[in-house]
Structure 1
Amino acid sequence: MTGADDDPRDDEDDEDDDADEPPPPPPDFTREQFLEWRSPRYGAANPERLTNPVWTWLVRAGVNAWSVTRQFDGPSALAAGPGWCFERFGRSTTELPDGRQILVAGEHEDYYDPDFFIYNDVVVRHPDGRIDIFGYPRDVFPPTDGHSATRVGDRIILIGSIGYQNERRPGHTQVLALDLGTFAITTIPTGGEMPGWIHGHGAALTDDGRAIVVQRGKLELGGDTSLVENIDDWRLDLDTWQWQRLTDRRWPRFELHREDRQRNHLWDLRQACWYREVGWGDQLAEQLEKLDTALGAPPDLDLAGQLFRPSIAHEVLKDDDDAYNTVRVRVDGVVVRFVDNGHSLQMTVEGELPEATVRAIADELRAKLELLERTSYTSKRL
């Protein structure tokens, strides 16, 4: 099963890991060359070879755009635009039988960072250390991140993307093919019942090599709905390029968010609860002061600790290490999952429960959120 790389933001501050890494090789280019190649650019052909000493060094060294700009006294990204960077998340990595590694696109940082950029390039690492970098016209290969990459013969099939917000196409699924001989990229028109604008999913080639099965991930539905989890499985036939829905899980789902549409404070509340649990008094006092200012009153940590504990009989399930900001409980043998993304909270009932039970859990959750944040919440069924 293949998908996007793990989010490197989870590892950037891991000093122990950094201590084991060898220092990056010294740059082998001049400041003039750096200024020439400091910025991302789209290719003029399909593909255009954009291999150059600056980007090649950045691939090898693992140095981000901000660091290399400071090292070469380059212009600020605030004035000159984002710098080219290979420190990315949402990038796919495919190992070929001949030892080559194919790394496709990805995103550096997020929209609020001046070096934020979603890439549409392909980087090839050769076993002997050589590096090739290919660029593409934007209309041939849109800026892509969070996709999956599945090798099928002499091609890599790229499915899905997050992409820039104003370029997403709810209901459509992006499917591209990367030719491993020419490195040209083509769009593959598909039909049938497709997943929609999906990213962060897994993709697996079937045993007979005739189809790709897509599972999990998130979907852009458009409108004022946040990204929602993909709870169904999908099959893309590689002979006909027709999509088929393999499951139709009609699980009850709710999205809850502040009525003012501002970010919630659940992460800060969880952090304060943890500081209290481990006895870190200074950090707890600082967190409580921060929350007091944000909420306009001292936070109720006891209530925060019971946010995802419904009044009806339930069993708290062990944390899933692969599921960030997710809490699961089991009610009458059915898993109820709560996922917080900072802007909204989504509740999913993974099976059948009486409607009165489902509604009671959702209503209680909304009431607790309003008490915790001292503001009105809305609850919408997805």
Structure 2
Amino acid sequence: MSSADDDDVPSEAEADADNEGDGEEEVAAEPTPPPFGREEFLEWRSPRYGATNPERLTNPVWAWLVDAGINAWAANKRFDGPSALGAGPGWCFDRFGRSTTALPDGRTLLIGGEHEDYYDPDFFIYNDVVVRHPDGRVEIFGYPREVFPPTDFHSATLVGDRLILIGSIGYAGERRPGHTQVLALDLATFAIATIPTGGTPPGWICRHTATLTDDGRAIVVQHGKLDPGEDRSMVENIDDWRLDLDTWEWQRLTDRRWPRREFARSDGKPNYVWNMQQACWYRKIGWADQLAEELASLDEGLGVPPDLDLAEQLFRPSIAHEACPEEEDSYDTTRILVDGVIVRFVRSSYSLQMTVEGELPEATVDAIAEELRERLSRLEHCDYSMTRL
């Protein structure tokens, strides 16, 4: 199974800023001294695209940054480089959403990923391939954008002598809703090629899992998120998809008609749900200083003292239900059980989505959804809209 490395830092590519997890490798607190000076650093300070497919871009600066693990800001400060506000982002290997694949011969391939988010001057989505050799050597390959678009939160599946890259978030203006990006990396030449596919694709998918079938003839894609386009928030992918590796045809394996609702502030501003939940947690465990700081921030943002008692009940509807245990790596998700059916609430900065994982009476679904909308409106002193997904 393969999926992209994640982190709990917001992703530009999703306006709702809800990345989770981390795939960064642990590095020493103090990196080894760099084998180059300021002049060479400035020569390789900035990201660049390859001119050929591929172009070998291995250089002492980037190779050191791969091993050092420091971010672009820290590297630039160390060498007294120009500000990213004027000079543009610095090259960085401190990334989210890159894939990591261990090859049978001992090499490890680390592909693409992004550094930080659109608000950071060092934000950049990469389209490179970094090779770590067993002897410690590092090779870096770059590509033209039209050959290998900036790619993050994709999957990488080893199939024979190729690595099949599926999906991406990418830059907002370059996504193709309804289309699924599929690329192949040739492990002998490191050339990348786009693979035209047919059938019924999942759409512009990211942060999914991709599993090679036991017979090695197909890849099954599950979970993740989809960009529906039309300036809408990303939605969860609730279906399973199969990509045939002989015909490159997509097949939809499931068609789950699960009721789903999305809730958002009518003024289009970010919500305070995470902050409310954090304050509730501080109160529960008795962290008075952190609670006071969070309450002060909420008071300033809301204009009134927050109602933590109501926040505690946000995902506890009036109808009979049971709370479900928290799942690992699902800090943004709350699950309850209603008449034996899971109802899942997923929070992000700009929206909150409710998914009913099965069949419940429509009146029950509507009651849960309307009560949640009303509570959100009361909590934030702002009207909330509700949309069927």
Which position in structure 2 is the counterpart of 1:81? 88
C-alpha distance after superposition, 1:103-137 (max 9, x if no partner): 11100001110100000000000001111100000
Does 2:12 correspond to 1:5?
no
The equivalent of 1:338 in structure 2 is 345
Tell me if the contact between 2:21 and 2:329 (Cα under 8 Å) persists in the aligned partners. Answer: no
Kindly state the Cα deviation for residue 8 of structure 1 after the two structures are TM-superposed. 6.9
**CA offset digits 1:283-330 (Å, max 9, x no partner):** 222222221221121111000000000100000000011223100000
1:114 aligns with 2:121: yes
In structure 2, C-alpha distance between the alignment counterparts of 1:143 and 1:76, rounded to whole Å = 23
Is structure 2 residue 46 aligned with structure 1 residue 54? no
Paired residue total = 378
Q: Hey, what's the Cα distance between the residues in 2 that align with 1:23 and 1:286?
A: 32
Instruction: Determine the C-alpha separation between the residues in 1 that align with 2:318 and 2:337.
Output: 13
Residue 51 of structure 2 aligns to a residue whose secondary structure is coil
Supply the AA of the counterpart residue of 2:89.
Answer: P
Aligned 1:171-190 pairs, distance under 5 A: 171-190=178-197
Equivalent in the alignment of 1:254: 261
Letter in 2 for 1:159: I
Which residue among 100, 105, 126 is the counterpart of 1:98? 105
CA positional deviation for 1:275: 1.4
SS of residue in 2 equivalent to 1:24: coil
The Cα of 1:21 is off from its aligned counterpart by 3.2
Deviation at 1:85, TM superposition (A): 0.2
- Give 2:41's aligned amino acid: F
The 5-angstrom pairing of residues 147-166 of structure 1 reads 147-166=154-173
Tell me whether 1:302 sits opposite 2:309 in the alignment: yes
Runs of 4+ aligned structure 1 residues displaced above 6 Å come to none
Aligned twin of 2:15: none
2:214 equivalent to 1:207: yes
Match of 2:41 in 1: 34
Write the distance in 2 (CA, Å) between the matches of 1:297 and 1:89: 36
CA–CA distance in structure 2, aligned partners of residues 236 and 322 of structure 1: 27
5+ residue gaps, structure 1, are none
On the 8 A contact 2:212/2:220 being kept in 1, the answer is yes
When residues 43 and 99 of structure 1 are mapped into structure 2, their CA distance, relative to the original with a 3 A threshold, is: same
Q: Percent identity?
A: 72
> How far, CA to CA, are the matches of 2:293 and 2:104 in structure 1?
53
Contact 1:8 1:87 in 2 (8 A): no
Structure 1 residue 226: deviation in Å? 0.6
On the 8 A contact 1:8/1:88 being kept in 2, the answer is: no
Normalised to the residue count of structure 2, the TM-score between the two structures is 0.95
The one-letter amino acid paired with 2:288 is: G
Deviations 1:60-89 (A, max 9, x none): 111111111011000011110000000101
TM-score, normalised to structure 1's length?
Answer: 0.97
The answer (yes or no) to whether the contact 2:155–2:207 under 8 Å persists in 1 is: yes
Aligned residues of 2:162 and 2:186 also touching (Cα < 8 A): yes
In the alignment, which of 53, 71, 74 is matched to residue 78 of structure 2? Answer: 71
The 1:78–1:22 alpha-carbon spacing in structure 2 relative to 1, beyond 3 Å, is: closer
- Between 348-357 and 278-287, report the one with greater CA deviation: 278-287
What is the letter of the counterpart of residue 296 of structure 1? G
- Determine helix, strand or coil for the equivalent of 1:21: coil
Superposed CA deviations along residues 87-106 of structure 1, whole A, max 9, x for unmatched, are 10100011011000011110
Which residue number in structure 2 is paired with residue 44 of structure 1? 51
Cα contact 2:4–2:153 (8 A) shared by 1: yes
Structure 1 Cα separation of the partners of residues 283 and 137 of structure 2: 51
Paired position in structure 2 for 1:138: 145
1:251 deviation in Å?
0.2
The partner residue of 1:126 within 118, 121, 133 is 133
Q: CA deviation at 1:22?
A: 5.8
Aligned residue among 263, 287, 290 for 1:280: 287
Could you tell me whether the CA contact under 8 Å between 2:6 and 2:153 is conserved in 1?
no
| Cα distance in 2 between the residues matched to 1:176 and 1:324 | 32
CA distance in 1, matches of 2:321, 2:37: 64
Q: Of 343, 346, 366, which aligns to 1:359?
A: 366
Distance of 1:300 and 1:327 partners within structure 2 = 19
Cα distance between partner residues in 2 of 1:242 and 1:323: 32
Partner SS, residue 205 of structure 2:
strand
Letter of the structure 2 residue corresponding to residue 63 of structure 1: I
Distance 1:308 1:74 in 2: 49
Q: Relative to 1, partners in 2 of residues 1:104 and 1:8: Cα closer, same or farther, differing over 3 Å?
A: farther
Q: How big is the shift at 1:23?
A: 2.9
3-state SS of paired residue (1:129): coil
